């Protein structure tokens, strides 16, 4: 038996021998599977010094990075630069084209402003003479839309801006045959009428002055349908002034109108109403309210309807409506719209006076429908014109004009019953639900410009 002193002389240290025995013991107890060490060891370093850098990077996912292609990046950069340069060039070309083509009418607006400024500059001829008596008063139609001269048309021909690019202008004056005022017209449906296009005024034509215009829109989307303008014969402006003055001094009432009809259609005016030739400011304001009355005060639309009815019912006033579609349409759509308006007005006024319930009126409405049959040419392209003319007896004549200057006007026919034309006119002028509220307001503004001058003076200015 060996002693401890003899064991210390063995070359293998005691601690190393103890570890070896313990390892064999653990292997025998664990089925030959070595147990993991619970302490760190420096015998197998974490980092391996052998192998290339590429294999080291491939084995370590934390140090692996996506290899980008340099050529692909350069191609992407070049493509982006080319697209950016192309966009800049396209924008520059578009801006240059818009400026050159003047799509927004900037040059025309500048010309209008320059012409209006030139027109307002007084000249030596316009300077007041100390030897002449000057009377203060409005000059013609101060409240009407701005009038501009259109190049390429008749000398002195003027146009009024409509507010839409589809039909940009309306003529300030139009000429219609005096034969339309005859009780029995010699024209038949489909006949052509050659209206003059020269600056001279033919003896067989009557000149009409524009009172106001506006755009008719439909649905809540405010889709534009056509531009409509109301004209009055220049020689009848004095009659229009007189009726407006009498209406402002003595507004019509339903009882008074019914009483006048029982007495033969003569409306009794108070003292001074017939002799009045001008209006004071309060009377002008009252007339404006009557013409624009929509029944918002609780009394219905009766007052405004009666005012316009009284103005139109009396014979001796020649007026016309000029209608120009802003999109392609046809006579069928126009006919249906007109007939709906006439029928609605007749049903509205019948409880008051009952003048639209006879068979003669029904036959007149059928004749009115036949005017817009269209025949072979039932389409109405954008920019073409439909004229509804009301003569001094209230008879309605319809004419159709194309946008071709040298093509004659086509006569569509006549409705002899005065009630039909009056209802068509009232559909644009009276009450709450009118075909075009901007047109009604513009017409009223033109009418107020008429009554700003004494009776008879506007005709001297216009003619």
32-70, pLDDT tens digit by residue? 555 555 454 455 554 544 444 444 445 555 554 444 567
Question: Please, where are the H alpha helices in 372-436?
Answer: 418-429
Confidence (pLDDT) at 330: 86
Query: Residue 390's pLDDT is what?
Result: 95
Answer whether residue 365 is part of any domain.
yes
């601690």: which residue's tokens?
A: 15
- What pLDDT score does 442 carry? 92
- pTM > 0.75: yes or no: no
Give the pLDDT of residue 202.
75
* Residue 118: inside a domain: no
Q: What is the CA angle 317-189-393, rounded to 5?
A: 20
Residue 75 in any domain: the answer is no
Whether residue 457 lies inside any domain: the answer is: no
Q: For position 260, what pLDDT does the model report?
A: 58
What radius of gyration, in Å, describes the C-alpha atoms of the chain?
Answer: 46
The C-alpha angle 167, 170, 176, rounded to 5 degrees, equals 125
Residue 192, domain extent? 149-266+273-452
* CA-closest candidate to residue 334, choices 387, 410, 409, 404: 387
Q: What is the pLDDT of residue 338?
A: 92
Domain membership of residue 76 (yes or no) is: no
Closest C-alpha among 223, 225, 269 to residue 246:
269
The predicted pLDDT at position 138 comes to 44
Q: What is the pLDDT of residue 373?
A: 76
Is 132 inside any structural domain?
no
Distance, CA of 209 to CA of 308 (rounded, Å): 19
Long-range contacts of 372-379 (CB under 8 A, 24+ apart): 372/331, 372/332, 372/334, 372/335, 372/338, 372/398, 372/412, 373/331, 374/330, 374/331, 374/332, 375/190, 378/330, 378/331, 378/332, 379/328, 379/329, 379/330, 379/331
How many structural domains does the chain have? Answer: 1
- Tell me what pLDDT residue 158 has: 79
Q: Is 184 contained in some domain?
A: yes
For residue 298, the model assigns a pLDDT of 46
Q: What is the pLDDT along the chain (463 residues), one digit of tens a residue?
A: 444 444 444 555 667 777 777 777 777 665 555 555 545 445 555 454 444 444 444 555 555 444 456 788 888 888 999 999 999 999 988 888 777 776 666 665 655 555 544 444 344 334 444 454 444 444 444 333 433 333 333 444 578 888 888 888 899 989 999 889 888 888 888 888 887 766 666 778 899 999 999 999 888 888 889 999 999 999 999 888 888 888 888 887 766 666 655 555 444 454 344 555 667 778 888 888 888 887 654 444 578 888 899 899 888 999 999 999 998 888 888 899 999 999 999 998 888 778 888 899 999 999 999 888 755 568 888 889 999 999 999 999 999 988 776 678 889 999 999 999 999 999 999 888 888 999 999 999 988 888 877 766 655 444 4
The answer to whether residue 52 is domain-embedded is no
CATH code of residue 389: 3.50.70.10
Q: Look at residues 458, 454, 452, 449 and name the one whose alpha carbon lies nearest to residue 281.
A: 452
Note the pLDDT of residue 459.
53
């Amino acid at each position: 038996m060996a002693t401890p002193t003899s064991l210390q002389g063995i070359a293998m240290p005691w601690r190393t021998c103890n570890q070896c025995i313990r390892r064999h013991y653990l292997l025998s107890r664990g089925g030959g599977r070595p147990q993991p060490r619970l302490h760190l060891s420096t015998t197998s370093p974490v980092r391996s010094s052998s192998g290339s850098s590429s294999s080291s990077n491939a084995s370590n996912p934390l140090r692996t990075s996506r290899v980008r292609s340099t050529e692909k990046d350069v191609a992407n950069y070049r493509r982006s630069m080319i697209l950016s340069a192309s966009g800049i060039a396209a924008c520059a070309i578009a801006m240059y084209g818009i400026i050159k083509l003047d799509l927004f009418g900037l040059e025309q607006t500048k010309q209008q402003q320059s012409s209006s400024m030139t027109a307002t500059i007084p000249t030596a001829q316009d300077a007041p003479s100390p030897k002449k008596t000057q009377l203060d008063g409005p000059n013609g139609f101060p409240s009407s839309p701005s009038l501009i001269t259109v190049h390429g048309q008749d000398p002195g021909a003027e146009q009024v801006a409509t507010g839409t690019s589809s039909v940009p202008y309306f003529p300030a004056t139009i000429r219609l045959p005096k034969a339309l005022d005859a009780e029995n017209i010699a024209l038949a449906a489909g006949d052509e009428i050659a209206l003059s296009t020269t600056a001279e005024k033919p003896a067989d034509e009557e000149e009409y002055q524009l009172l106001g215009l506006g755009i008719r829109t439909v649905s809540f989307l405010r889709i534009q349908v056509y531009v409509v303008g109301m004209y009055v014969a220049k020689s009848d402006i004095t009659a229009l002034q007189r009726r407006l003055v009498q209406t402002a001094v003595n507004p019509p009432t339903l009882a008074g109108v019914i009483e006048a009809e029982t007495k033969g259609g003569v409306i009794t005016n108070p003292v001074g109403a017939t002799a009045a030739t001008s209006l004071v400011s309060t009377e002008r304001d009252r007339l404006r309210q009557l013409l624009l009355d929509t029944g918002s005060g609780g009394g219905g639309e009766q007052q405004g309807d009666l005012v316009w009815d009284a103005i139109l019912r009396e014979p001796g006033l020649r007026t016309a409506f000029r209608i120009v579609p802003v999109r392609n349409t046809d006579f069928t759509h126009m006919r249906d719209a007109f007939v709906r308006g006439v029928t609605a007005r007749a049903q509205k006024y019948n409880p008051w006076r009952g003048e639209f319930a006879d068979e003669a009126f029904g036959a007149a409405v059928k004749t009115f429908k036949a005017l817009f049959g269209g025949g072979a040419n039932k389409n109405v392209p954008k920019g073409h014109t439909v004229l509804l003319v009301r003569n001094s007896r209230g008879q309605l004549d319809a004419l159709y004009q194309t946008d071709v200057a040298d093509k004659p006007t086509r006569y569509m026919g006549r409705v002899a019953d005065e009630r039909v034309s009056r209802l068509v006119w009232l559909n644009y002028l009276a009450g709450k639900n009118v075909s075009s509220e901007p047109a009604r307001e513009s017409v009223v503004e033109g009418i107020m410009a008429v009554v700003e001058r004494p009776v008879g003076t506007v005709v001297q200015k216009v003619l």
